């Protein structure tokens, strides 16, 4: 990013009139000429709904600015796992990270409400919450967080997370007993799996394939598109619809970069991100169907889980431990319909 900067001493030498002229010149240069290439990253490959939505957002930015702002996408964990992605965004080494709300809980505790098992009644409920005032408030909390160093741009859909493993179908809570299941890096998720009787093992998405291959874990849990596109079915062919988590994705922007941009550019980024949220949603529903089809073709054993109440009862301790501090927010979410 080429930016014109003028040090203080030169400014003093130039005098007040010149300062005004220089400031105006700076503004013109940074808004009219300097090319801005925003580095974006995602754990998923090209074509995955979240990746595609951000690529399309880049095209819109290019069009709106006549090529001045563009997005360079680094898909497939090319810049590391989600933990690394967050760190790089905080430093300004990359600008856009598409991550799950999952690892955001330790940073902005309110996000852990979205991470509570069975907090949303169904996908429509979840969409209403993220599209409405609660969703905006939480994005705002992130943006205003004094040390997070991130701007919350928008959410995206990520369906429902189901348990998969290499041993057997899970039809009741007891079936999880003794299974080592990879969970996302947030103590809430390990507690969730442990309360269901399994052994929750926290690790990055980038380490999961290897861990399944070597038997470090028996399986994991995720939505159909992640399971299918990550080829996890090769190592864990039992996919059981436990539906225990429904965690939205989030698009975050490096605050360091954002703060250096003009108001107009900031607004354009926020606007195109909001559009990306809805565009991704369409792509998501198509992809869920395609992934399920591919899974069945690959010989995955998919089973429904009807004993939902038993699963909900088992995770009560997680709600007590991680939800108690957010009772008002939980009640507001429950009241959305």
Instruction: Select 100 or 112, whichever has its Cβ closest to ligand GTR.
Output: 100
Contact 53, 280 (CB under 8 A): yes
What burial letters (b/e) apply to 241-268, b meaning 16+ CB within 10 Å? bbbbbbbbbbbbbbbbbbeebeeebeeb
In the range 115-154, which residues lie near ligand GTR by CB under 6 A? Answer: none
Q: Does 99 bind ligand GTR (CB under 6 A)?
A: yes
Q: Which of 115, 226, 254, 291 binds ligand GTR (CB under 6 A)?
A: 226
Q: Is 184 in the site for ligand GTR (CB under 6 A)?
A: yes
Closest contact distance (angstroms) between CB of 225 and ligand GTR is 8
Query: Rg (Cα) of the chain, in Å, rounded?
Result: 22
HSE-CB at 79 with a 13 A cutoff on CA atoms is 23
Nearer to ligand GTR, 129 or 184 (CB): 184
Of 68-76, 107-115, 220-228, 260-268, which segment contacts ligand GTR by CB under 6 A?
220-228
43 touches ligand GTR (CB under 6 A): yes
Distances (CA, A) of 174 to 11, 309, 311, 314: 72, 13, 10, 10
68 vs 83, beta carbon nearer ligand GTR: 83
Task: Confirm if 304 and 292 have CB atoms less than 8 A apart.
Answer: no
Binding residues among 197-216 for ligand GTR as defined by CB under 6 A: 205
Spatial separation of the C-alpha atoms in residues 57 and 24, rounded to whole Å: 29
CB 306 to ligand GTR: min, Å: 24
User: Does residue number 52 form part of the binding site for ligand GTR (CB under 6 A)?
Assistant: no
Residue 220 CB-half CA count within 13 A: 30
Rounded Cα gap, residues 169 and 20, in angstroms:
70
Using CB under 6 A as the binding rule, whether residue 235 contacts ligand GTR is answered as: no
- Closest approach, Cβ 335 to ligand GTR, in A, equals 27
Query: Which of 30, 222, 257, 291 contacts ligand GTR by CB under 6 A?
Result: 222
* HSE value, Cβ hemisphere, 13 Å, CA-based, for 52: 13
φ/ψ of residue 265, rounded to 5: -65, -40
Which of these segments, 10-18, 19-27, 96-104, 170-178, binds ligand GTR (CB under 6 A)? 96-104
- Of the residues 127, 228, 249, 279, which one makes contact with ligand GTR according to CB under 6 A: 249
The binding site for ligand GTR (CB under 6 A) comprises: 43, 82, 99-100, 102, 158, 184, 205, 222-223, 226, 249
């Amino acid at each position: 990013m080429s930016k014109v900067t003028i040090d203080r001493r030169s400014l003093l030498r130039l005098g007040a009139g010149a300062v005004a002229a220089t400031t105006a010149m700076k503004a013109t240069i940074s808004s009219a000429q300097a090319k801005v290439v925003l580095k974006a990253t995602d754990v998923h490959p090209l074509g995955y709904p979240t990746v595609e939505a951000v690529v399309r957002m880049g095209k819109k930015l290019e069009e709106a600015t006549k090529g001045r702002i563009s997005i360079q996408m680094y898909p497939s964990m090319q810049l590391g796992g989600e933990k690394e992605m967050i760190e790089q965004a905080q430093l300004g080494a990359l600008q856009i990270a598409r991550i799950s709300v999952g690892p955001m809980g330790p940073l902005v505790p309110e996000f852990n409400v979205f991470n509570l098992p069975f907090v949303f009644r169904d996908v429509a409920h979840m969409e209403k919450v993220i599209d409405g005032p609660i969703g905006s408030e939480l994005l705002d909390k992130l943006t205003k967080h004094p040390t997070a160093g991130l701007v919350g741009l928008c959410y995206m859909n990520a369906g429902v997370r189901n348990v998969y493993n290499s041993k057997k179908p899970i039809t009741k809570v007891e079936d999880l007993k003794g299974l080592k299941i990879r969970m996302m890096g947030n103590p809430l998720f390990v507690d969730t799996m442990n309360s269901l009787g399994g052994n929750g093992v926290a690790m990055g998405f980038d380490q999961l394939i290897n861990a399944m291959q070597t038997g470090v874990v028996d399986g994991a849990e995720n939505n159909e598109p992640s399971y299918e596109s990550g080829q996890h079915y090769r190592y864990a062919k039992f996919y059981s619809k436990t539906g225990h988590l429904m965690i939205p994705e989030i698009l975050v922007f490096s605050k360091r970069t954002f703060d250096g941009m003009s108001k107009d550019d900031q607004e354009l980024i926020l606007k195109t991100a909001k559009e990306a949220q809805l565009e991704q949603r369409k792509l998501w529903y198509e992809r869920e169907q395609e992934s399920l089809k591919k899974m069945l073709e690959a010989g995955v054993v998919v089973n429904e889980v009807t004993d939902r109440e038993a699963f909900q009862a088992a995770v009560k301790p997680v709600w007590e431990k991680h939800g108690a501090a957010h009772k008002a927010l939980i009640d507001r979410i429950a009241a959305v319909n």
